[in-house]
Amino acid sequence: MKYKRFEELPVWQAAMTLCEGIVSIADDKAFGRKGDLRSQLQRAALSVANNIAEGFERGTTRELVTFLYIARGSAGEVRSMLLLMERLGDFAHWRSDISDFKSQAESISRQLRAWADSLQNSDIPGQRYLTDRTRRAAEQKQRAGAFGAKLDRLVEEGRQARGQPGGEEGRQARGQPGGEEGRQARGQPGGEEGRKARG
Protein backbone atom coordinates (compact mmCIF):
# COMPACT_ATOMS: atom_id res chain seq x y z
CA MET A 1 0.00 0.00 0.00
CA LYS A 2 1.23 3.49 -0.88
CA TYR A 3 0.69 6.29 1.58
CA LYS A 4 0.23 9.88 0.43
CA ARG A 5 0.11 11.51 3.86
CA PHE A 6 2.18 10.80 6.95
CA GLU A 7 -1.04 10.69 9.00
CA GLU A 8 -1.92 7.45 7.17
CA LEU A 9 1.29 5.68 8.23
CA PRO A 10 0.63 2.93 10.81
CA VAL A 11 3.99 3.59 12.48
CA TRP A 12 3.22 7.32 12.83
CA GLN A 13 -0.17 6.45 14.35
CA ALA A 14 1.55 4.08 16.78
CA ALA A 15 4.01 6.84 17.71
CA MET A 16 1.14 9.26 18.40
CA THR A 17 -0.58 6.68 20.61
CA LEU A 18 2.65 6.30 22.58
CA CYS A 19 3.01 10.08 22.87
CA GLU A 20 -0.56 10.45 24.13
CA GLY A 21 0.09 7.80 26.78
CA ILE A 22 3.29 9.49 27.94
CA VAL A 23 1.60 12.90 28.16
CA SER A 24 -1.30 11.38 30.14
CA ILE A 25 1.00 10.43 33.04
CA ALA A 26 3.21 13.54 32.90
CA ASP A 27 1.14 15.47 35.44
CA ASP A 28 1.50 12.76 38.06
CA LYS A 29 2.85 13.99 41.39
CA ALA A 30 5.62 11.35 41.14
CA PHE A 31 7.34 13.74 38.72
CA GLY A 32 7.22 16.46 41.42
CA ARG A 33 10.98 16.89 41.89
CA LYS A 34 11.86 15.19 38.61
CA GLY A 35 10.83 17.89 36.16
CA ASP A 36 13.76 17.20 33.87
CA LEU A 37 12.73 13.55 33.51
CA ARG A 38 9.15 14.51 32.69
CA SER A 39 10.21 17.13 30.15
CA GLN A 40 12.77 14.86 28.48
CA LEU A 41 10.35 11.93 28.33
CA GLN A 42 7.66 14.03 26.66
CA ARG A 43 10.11 15.56 24.19
CA ALA A 44 11.54 12.18 23.23
CA ALA A 45 8.07 10.66 22.73
CA LEU A 46 6.99 13.59 20.57
CA SER A 47 10.26 13.39 18.64
CA VAL A 48 9.40 9.88 17.44
CA ALA A 49 6.21 11.00 15.68
CA ASN A 50 7.63 14.33 14.51
CA ASN A 51 10.69 12.81 12.84
CA ILE A 52 8.58 10.24 11.00
CA ALA A 53 6.37 13.08 9.74
CA GLU A 54 9.27 15.33 8.75
CA GLY A 55 11.16 12.56 6.98
CA PHE A 56 8.05 11.61 5.01
CA GLU A 57 7.42 15.20 3.96
CA ARG A 58 11.03 15.79 2.84
CA GLY A 59 10.35 13.90 -0.39
CA THR A 60 13.61 12.00 -0.80
CA THR A 61 14.37 8.42 0.18
CA ARG A 62 17.77 9.39 1.56
CA GLU A 63 16.38 12.02 3.93
CA LEU A 64 13.47 9.79 4.93
CA VAL A 65 15.87 7.02 5.98
CA THR A 66 17.89 9.54 8.02
CA PHE A 67 14.81 10.79 9.87
CA LEU A 68 13.52 7.25 10.45
CA TYR A 69 16.76 6.43 12.26
CA ILE A 70 16.47 9.65 14.29
CA ALA A 71 12.91 8.62 15.22
CA ARG A 72 14.20 5.16 16.13
CA GLY A 73 16.83 6.75 18.36
CA SER A 74 14.12 8.76 20.12
CA ALA A 75 12.09 5.57 20.65
CA GLY A 76 15.16 4.06 22.30
CA GLU A 77 15.49 7.16 24.47
CA VAL A 78 11.88 6.77 25.60
CA ARG A 79 12.52 3.13 26.49
CA SER A 80 15.62 4.03 28.46
CA MET A 81 13.74 6.57 30.60
CA LEU A 82 10.87 4.14 31.13
CA LEU A 83 13.39 1.59 32.39
CA LEU A 84 14.66 4.19 34.86
CA MET A 85 11.10 4.86 36.03
CA GLU A 86 10.63 1.14 36.67
CA ARG A 87 13.63 1.26 39.01
CA LEU A 88 12.32 4.24 40.95
CA GLY A 89 9.79 3.46 43.67
CA ASP A 90 7.92 6.72 43.00
CA PHE A 91 6.39 5.24 39.83
CA ALA A 92 5.35 1.82 41.21
CA HIS A 93 1.65 2.66 40.65
CA TRP A 94 2.41 3.16 36.92
CA ARG A 95 4.21 -0.19 36.52
CA SER A 96 1.60 -1.71 34.19
CA ASP A 97 1.41 1.43 32.01
CA ILE A 98 5.19 1.72 31.86
CA SER A 99 5.39 -1.89 30.68
CA ASP A 100 2.84 -1.15 27.94
CA PHE A 101 4.72 1.99 26.86
CA LYS A 102 7.97 0.00 26.63
CA SER A 103 6.30 -2.58 24.40
CA GLN A 104 4.86 0.15 22.18
CA ALA A 105 8.24 1.88 21.85
CA GLU A 106 9.94 -1.43 21.02
CA SER A 107 7.34 -2.24 18.36
CA ILE A 108 7.81 1.20 16.81
CA SER A 109 11.58 0.67 16.74
CA ARG A 110 11.15 -2.64 14.88
CA GLN A 111 8.77 -1.07 12.35
CA LEU A 112 11.13 1.84 11.71
CA ARG A 113 14.09 -0.49 11.24
CA ALA A 114 12.18 -2.68 8.77
CA TRP A 115 10.97 0.35 6.82
CA ALA A 116 14.44 1.91 6.69
CA ASP A 117 15.97 -1.40 5.53
CA SER A 118 13.44 -1.70 2.69
CA LEU A 119 14.08 1.90 1.60
CA GLN A 120 17.84 1.40 1.53
CA ASN A 121 17.33 -1.35 -1.07
CA SER A 122 15.02 0.80 -3.20
CA ASP A 123 15.98 2.17 -6.63
CA ILE A 124 13.55 5.08 -6.30
CA PRO A 125 15.25 8.23 -4.93
CA GLY A 126 11.99 9.61 -3.51
CA GLN A 127 8.82 11.49 -4.36
CA ARG A 128 10.75 14.67 -5.08
CA TYR A 129 12.50 12.95 -7.99
CA LEU A 130 9.64 10.68 -9.05
CA THR A 131 8.52 11.78 -12.53
CA ASP A 132 5.81 10.08 -14.56
CA ARG A 133 8.52 8.28 -16.52
CA THR A 134 10.39 6.91 -13.50
CA ARG A 135 7.10 5.99 -11.83
CA ARG A 136 6.01 3.98 -14.87
CA ALA A 137 9.42 2.29 -15.08
CA ALA A 138 9.28 1.32 -11.40
CA GLU A 139 5.74 -0.03 -11.74
CA GLN A 140 6.69 -1.97 -14.88
CA LYS A 141 9.67 -3.53 -13.12
CA GLN A 142 7.47 -4.51 -10.18
CA ARG A 143 4.85 -6.05 -12.48
CA ALA A 144 7.54 -7.97 -14.42
CA GLY A 145 8.96 -9.38 -11.18
CA ALA A 146 5.51 -10.45 -10.00
CA PHE A 147 4.72 -12.06 -13.37
CA GLY A 148 8.04 -13.95 -13.37
CA ALA A 149 7.39 -15.26 -9.87
CA LYS A 150 3.86 -16.34 -10.83
CA LEU A 151 5.16 -18.09 -13.97
CA ASP A 152 7.80 -19.98 -11.97
CA ARG A 153 5.14 -21.06 -9.50
CA LEU A 154 2.80 -22.32 -12.27
CA VAL A 155 5.62 -24.28 -13.94
CA GLU A 156 6.55 -25.86 -10.62
CA GLU A 157 2.92 -26.77 -9.90
CA GLY A 158 2.62 -28.32 -13.38
CA ARG A 159 5.69 -30.47 -12.81
CA GLN A 160 4.39 -31.62 -9.45
CA ALA A 161 0.98 -32.45 -10.96
CA ARG A 162 2.74 -34.69 -13.51
CA GLY A 163 4.76 -36.33 -10.77
CA GLN A 164 8.01 -34.78 -11.95
CA PRO A 165 10.53 -33.39 -9.44
CA GLY A 166 11.01 -29.64 -9.72
CA GLY A 167 13.81 -27.16 -9.22
CA GLU A 168 17.43 -28.29 -9.13
CA GLU A 169 16.43 -31.89 -8.45
CA GLY A 170 14.16 -31.89 -11.53
CA ARG A 171 16.88 -30.61 -13.85
CA GLN A 172 19.28 -33.28 -12.62
CA ALA A 173 16.63 -35.99 -13.12
CA ARG A 174 16.15 -34.83 -16.72
CA GLY A 175 19.91 -34.93 -17.32
CA GLN A 176 20.16 -31.13 -17.47
CA PRO A 177 23.01 -29.37 -15.71
CA GLY A 178 21.91 -27.14 -12.87
CA GLY A 179 23.21 -24.04 -11.13
CA GLU A 180 25.82 -21.89 -12.86
CA GLU A 181 26.71 -24.59 -15.37
CA GLY A 182 23.05 -24.99 -16.32
CA ARG A 183 22.57 -21.31 -16.94
CA GLN A 184 25.60 -21.19 -19.20
CA ALA A 185 24.36 -24.26 -21.11
CA ARG A 186 21.00 -22.56 -21.67
CA GLY A 187 22.74 -19.42 -22.92
CA GLN A 188 21.91 -17.42 -19.81
CA PRO A 189 24.57 -15.23 -18.25
CA GLY A 190 25.76 -16.37 -14.83
CA GLY A 191 27.23 -14.78 -11.73
CA GLU A 192 26.71 -11.09 -11.09
CA GLU A 193 25.90 -10.41 -14.74
CA GLY A 194 23.18 -13.05 -14.65
CA ARG A 195 21.61 -11.71 -11.50
CA LYS A 196 21.42 -8.22 -13.02
CA ALA A 197 19.94 -9.59 -16.25
CA ARG A 198 17.24 -11.46 -14.30
CA GLY A 199 16.26 -8.21 -12.51
pTM value surpassing 0.85: no
Q: Do 87 and 135 sit in the same domain of this protein?
A: no
Low-confidence ranges of the chain (pLDDT < 70): 1, 122-145, 164-199
| Structural domain count, the chain | 2
pLDDT at 8: 95
Q: Is residue 151 part of a domain?
A: yes
Q: Is residue 89 part of a domain?
A: yes
Q: Do 35 and 118 sit in the same domain of this protein?
A: yes
Long-range (24+ apart) CB contacts under 8 A made by 27-32 are 28/91, 28/94, 30/90, 30/91, 30/93, 30/94
Supply the DSSP symbol for 175.
Answer: T
Q: Do 111 and 136 sit in the same domain of this protein?
A: no
Q: Do 12 and 76 sit in the same domain of this protein?
A: yes
Domain that holds residue 110: 6-128
